Amino acid sequence: MNSMNGKSIAIILSLLVMPLVNINAAQAQPTKSNEDESKVPSYTLPDPLTTSAGAKVTSGNAWRDKRRPEIVKLFETHVYGRSPGRPPRMTFEVTSLDKKALGGKATRKEVSVYFTGKKEGPKMDMLIYVPNGASKPAPVFLGLNFDGNHAVHSDPGIKLATLWTRPAKEKPLVSSRAPEESRGKSASRWAVEKMIERGYGLATIYYGDIEPDFFPEGYNVGVRSVMDAPSGSSKSVGDEWGAIGAWAWGLSRAMDYFETDNTIDSKHVTVMGHSRLGKTALWAGARDERFAMVISNDSGEGGAALSRRWFGETVERINTSFPHWFCGNYKKYNTDVNALPVDQHMLIALIAPRPAYVASAQEDLWADPRGEFLSAKHAEPVYSLLGKDGLGVDEMPSANHPVGKTIGYHIRTGKHDVTDYDWEQYLNFADKHFKHAKLQ
């Protein structure tokens, strides 16, 4: 009896000192959401500089040749799914051109990208502004938008977008032209004039052109219905790409076009996104190294925020609310997130040595601002290995005090949104890294 008591005591003591991440997954990752920092359990992050075989990565060559491709594959397999490459028959068509847009300050161009080369097939329409008066091709900010290209500015020359809707659950998706009164409805999120004044262009695409959102069956009318199509299911299964993978794929197709346009500096394109499109921008920038800079604005779970932190939105909640965003395998980690072989600091690390910027909002607790900061912080070792400074700070800054070197970060006052303050920081960051961007 006494020996049994001693053994029991030893087991109890071992459990007390064991990190919470190693205890039963249901205890380690509660299913309910949490916005109390004191309730965040302990966790252990996977090391971006240790291979799956346990080997330590100690050189830039080892990172580029072995570990980086391995991490990309892990995200493809477990989070975002596999995406195809450039379609061999894809074509571009300039559908409108105005060299005196915005009072003569910019050239406005609209370009249709036909993914299969057929006008009746899936396509996306891109709105581009580049500053007039520049002596060289313009660096460009590229971002998807939520409400159609016509919504980013009140410019009457922008074509009204065709938007996808579903009148009722029992009815199929339908498309219709946006009403005239919706022109410029999202202009507060796009500092178009400010970009032009600073010597930058803007390119934007309605994300619904690539795949409609808010309903899993959007798969049936988006690019996933014709590009590397899986078994015909409307939901992502296994490692087949989800909607975020599709939207990110569309951003790379925009880059394909930029490489053909001599008014755009395709070597200095910044991909930027807000919320779910911030997740998309990070994945696009991680996969496609042609993007020179990557910006995440309030991207949260599945974006910049650490998944292992039980704070705000969780893996289970996002997979339940938006089952079409990620690959099917991601759902295996709904209640066992500690079993994920990756976390989001590794997504930011994939951007290295290129500049990356992560932004949060003080009232946007659902996106876990501290988790976004920590993700940027824990990507630093990879930047350091590649000879770049990361954030350069150890503590999360106070509101409206941007920090960072090759990795930038700020948390601003306010809610889940994109504001002029955010854009001012992104332009300053681009100025710092793209010195050639200023008008001559």
Could you give the CA distance from residue 384 to residue 373 in angstroms, rounded to a whole number? 17
The b/e string for 342-355 (b: 16+ C-beta within 10 A; e otherwise) is bbbbbbbbbbbbbb
What is the amino acid identity at position 321?
Answer: S
What is the amino acid identity at position 397?
Answer: P
pLDDT tens-digit series, residues 68-79: 999 999 999 999
pLDDT per position in the chain (440 positions), as tens?
A: 333 344 333 332 332 332 333 323 333 455 578 999 999 999 999 999 999 999 999 999 999 999 999 999 999 999 999 999 999 999 999 999 999 999 999 999 999 999 999 998 899 999 999 999 888 999 999 999 999 999 999 999 999 999 987 666 666 778 899 999 999 999 999 999 999 999 999 999 999 999 999 777 788 888 998 886 444 444 567 999 999 999 999 999 999 999 999 999 999 999 999 999 999 999 999 999 999 999 999 999 999 999 999 999 999 999 999 999 999 999 999 999 999 999 999 999 999 999 999 999 999 999 999 999 999 999 999 999 999 999 999 999 999 999 999 999 999 999 999 999 999 999 999 999 997 444 33
Distance of CA 38 to the CA centre of its chain: 28
**Residue 110 bridge partners (DSSP):** 96, 127
Q: Extract the runs of DSSP E, i.e. beta strands, from 27-173.
A: 91-100, 106-114, 123-131, 138-145, 162-165
Could you give the CA distance from residue 156 to residue 325 in angstroms, rounded to a whole number? 33
Distance of CA 159 to the CA centre of its chain: 26
Could you give the CA distance from residue 355 to residue 433 in angstroms, rounded to a whole number? 8
Joined tokens for residue 132: 């007039």
Rg (CA), the chain: 22
Please provide the CATH number assigned to the domain covering 77-437: 3.40.50.1820
The residues assigned a catalytic role are: 275, 416
Q: What is the pLDDT of residue 233?
A: 46
**Residue 96 bridge partners (DSSP):** 110
Q: Extract the runs of DSSP E, i.e. beta strands, from 216-299.
A: 264-274, 293-297
